[in-house]
A and B are shown apart, each in its own frame.
Chain A
Amino acid sequence: DAKTTQPPSMDCAEGRAANLPCNHSTISGNEYVYWYRQIHSQGPQYIIHGLKNNETNEMASLIITEDRKSSTLILPHATLRDTAVYYCIVRVPNSGGSNYKLTFGKGTLLTVNP
């Protein structure tokens, strides 16, 4: 899996948009970008994934640059419950070899302040 780089921490005001960046400059053409988050003392929670087009679901939006070397996870209206560690992971889904596992870095601790 390609290595990702994320800032160790970020702050956001409640109600504002939280924009979490991720660099994945060595991503290959068939690797997807996945985002998970982990609230304190819970297991990781899947948020969203994408290949090259921007994606949106009920939780967040994912913006992937045209060269696919970086992406941004956007939480449009952050709440206190969004305080968590956010992990950006790149991998090839449903292929052989070692691509069944998720390789987590240290992620970004997002703190949403009242």
Chain B
Amino acid sequence: DTGVSQDPRHKITKRGQNVTFRCDPISEHNRLYWYRQTLGQGPEFLTYFQNEAQLEKSRLLSDRFSAERPKGSFSTLEIQRTEQGDSAMYLCASSLAGASKNIQYFGAGTRLSVL
């Protein structure tokens, strides 16, 4: 197992376009998290899944954002009608509930640039 995988690594889009990112967690992990990170700041929590259920969404996650984890494995994060303010690094993490203090392991992230 190679850890959390995110695709694509980089995405450049024009304002108003829709984009979708994918995250493949560590295979046995039942929890999956999305974070967003802007330049000079630490990552900020967006949303969280336990298996296929989305249990929490941050106020940062506007109506243009939607996340899914249909089979409790990989997850997608879609941004509709992108805005320049959406430019950021989008990070995915996974963890195993109940194991070793619920350590979250992160992917390398998807860097989004909205022109």
Interface-side segment among A20-28, A58-66, A96-104? A96-104
Partner of A43, one of B41, B45, B109: B109
Is A106 in the interface zone, CB < 8 Å from B?
yes
- Asked if B91 and A44 make an inter-chain contact with CB atoms under 8 angstroms apart, the answer reads yes
A94 B42 Cβ-Cβ under 8 A: no
A94: which of B33, B48, B97, B109 is its contact (CB, 8 Å)?
B97
- Beta-carbon contacts of B77-115 to A below 8 Å, as 1s and 0s? 000000000000001010001100111111111010000
B103's closest neighbor in chain A, by CB?
A46
**CB-nearest residue of chain B relative to A46?**
B103
**What residues on A are CB-neighbors of B42 within 8 Å?**
85, 87, 104-107
**Is B45 a contact of A101 with CB atoms below 8 Å?**
yes
A interface SS class: loop
Q: How far is the CB of B75 from chain A (nearest CB, A)?
A: 15
Given contacts A102-B45, A104-B43, A105-B42, contact A45 B106 (CB under 8 A): yes
On chain A, the residues within 8 Å of B56 by CB distance are 98, 100-101
Pair A102/B104 contact, Cβ less than 8 Å:
yes
Task: Give a binary string over A42-85; 1 marks a CB under 8 Å from any B CB, 0 the rest.
Answer: 11111001000000000000000000000000000000000001
| Measured CA separation A93–B99 after assembly (Å) | 10
**Cβ-defined contact, A42 with B103, below 8 A:** no
> Given A49-B101, A106-B41, do A100 and B48 touch, yes or no (CB 8 Å)?
yes
Contact of A93 with B101 at beta-carbon distance under 8 Å, contacts A43-B106, A100-B56 already known:
yes
Q: Residue on A with the closest CB to B31?
A: A100
A85 to B41, CA, bound (A): 10
Known interface pairs A49-B103, A101-B33, A105-B42. Does A43 touch B48 (Cβ–Cβ under 8 Å)? no
- Taking the nearest CB of chain B, how far is it from the CB of A37, in angstroms? 11
Binding site for B on A (CB under 8 A): 32, 34, 41-46, 49, 85, 87, 93-94, 98, 100-107
Q: Which B residues fall within an 8 A CB radius of A? A: 4, 31, 33, 35, 40-45, 48, 55-56, 91, 93, 97-98, 101-109, 111
